[in-house]
């Protein structure tokens, strides 16, 4: 049995799982989950065995984004079998509680749920496990960044100053716990009018690229604000899977080669 890689920080890895990569944002609503799901599918399209762990305990969105419902089975009465969609494995609190049930939990319970979703799920064999992190830099995020043997973090931000300020804090958090920053993705980068083709920079444009340069981390790419991305996400058929030959799938695949 191959032994699990141990991260530079000495945290034990997950047996049979290659790299664990976090997708994070400083602020909610910037498209972190949408990016995490499409990046996971793009990594799979690039030929990797991929898992997606939804670490957003209070607001899980992976089940809906992947069009998955139902309960995971257990393998041996304890280890959960991950759910599967579009060729990737997935685990989320959303599979374990009803959609309308609020998670009224304190930090330690969140941590133990995350640890279970990481270590008591039959993930192996995986080349890469993408973790859709909860937004922000609170206790749960910090503990997560400290306890999970992360190979690196991808930061998602809109070009808007407010989102960038928070993205900077997220980045600083990962740096503090020695998690390498793999780069920044600018989501909702611009809008192309589907009727007249005019481009509008709704949240400004280029802010994340500029920020990446300033902070000395890679700029991974820009994803526009696009109706098809929102619609395909909402219908549980993300754009990388539903339109694999399209330009957005190509953009996500190219970002995937850089992480």
Q: Please count the residues of this chain forming the interface with ligand ADP, following the rule CB under 6 A.
A: 19
Residue 155 CA to residue 186 CA, distance in Å, equals 9
Smallest distance from ligand ADP to CB 258, Å: 18
Give the residue with the Cβ less far from ligand ADP, 80 or 233: 233
Smallest distance from ligand ADP to CB 138, Å: 15
Burial 26-39 (b: 16+ CB within 10 A, else e): bbeebbbbbbbbbb
Instruction: Write out the binding residues for ligand ADP, residues 54-83 only, by CB under 6 A.
Output: 61
Beta bridge mates, 152: 21
Residue 202 CA to residue 194 CA, distance in Å, equals 15
The stretch among 24-32, 43-51, 143-151, 198-206 that binds ligand ADP (CB under 6 A) is 24-32
3-state secondary structure of 174: helix
Give the residue with the Cβ less far from ligand ADP, 18 or 33: 33
Give the residue with the Cβ less far from ligand ADP, 61 or 242: 61
25 lies in the binding site for ligand ADP (CB under 6 A): yes
Smallest distance from ligand ADP to CB 16, Å: 28
Cα–Cα separations (whole angstroms), residue 256 to 137, 154, 172: 24, 10, 23
Q: What is the secondary structure of 105-126 as a DSSP string?
A: --HHHHHHHHHHHHHSB---SE
Contact set with ligand ADP (CB under 6 A): 25, 28-34, 61, 135, 187-188, 223, 225-226, 229-230, 233-234
């Amino acid at each position: 049995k191959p032994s699990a890689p141990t991260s530079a920080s000495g945290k034990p890895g997950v047996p049979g799982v290659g790299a664990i990569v976090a997708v994070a944002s400083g602020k909610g609503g910037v498209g972190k989950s949408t990016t995490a799901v499409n990046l996971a599918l793009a990594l799979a399209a690039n030929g990797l065995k991929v898992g997606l762990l939804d670490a957003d305990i209070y607001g899980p969105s992976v089940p809906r984004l992947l069009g998955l419902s139902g309960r995971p089975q257990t393998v041996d009465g304890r280890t959960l079998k991950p759910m599967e969609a579009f060729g990737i494995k997935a685990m989320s609190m959303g599979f374990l509680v009803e959609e309308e049930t609020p998670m009224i939990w304190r930090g330690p319970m969140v941590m133990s749920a995350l640890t279970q979703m990481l270590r008591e799920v039959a993930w192996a064999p995986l080349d890469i496990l993408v973790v859709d992190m909860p937004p922000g830099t609170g206790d749960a995020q910090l503990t997560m960044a400290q306890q999970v043997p992360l190979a690196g973090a991808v930061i998602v931000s809109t070009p808007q100053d407010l989102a960038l300020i928070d993205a900077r804090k997220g980045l600083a958090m990962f740096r503090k716990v020695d998690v390498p920053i793999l780069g920044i993705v600018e989501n909702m980068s611009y809008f192309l009018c589907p009727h007249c083709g005019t481009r509008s920079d709704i949240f400004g444009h280029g802010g994340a690229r500029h920020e990446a340069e300033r902070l000395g981390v890679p700029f991974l790419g820009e994803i526009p604000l696009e109706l098809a991305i929102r619609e395909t996400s909402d219908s549980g058929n993300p754009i990388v899977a539903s339109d694999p030959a399209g330009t957005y799938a190509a953009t996500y695949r190219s970002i995937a080669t850089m992480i």
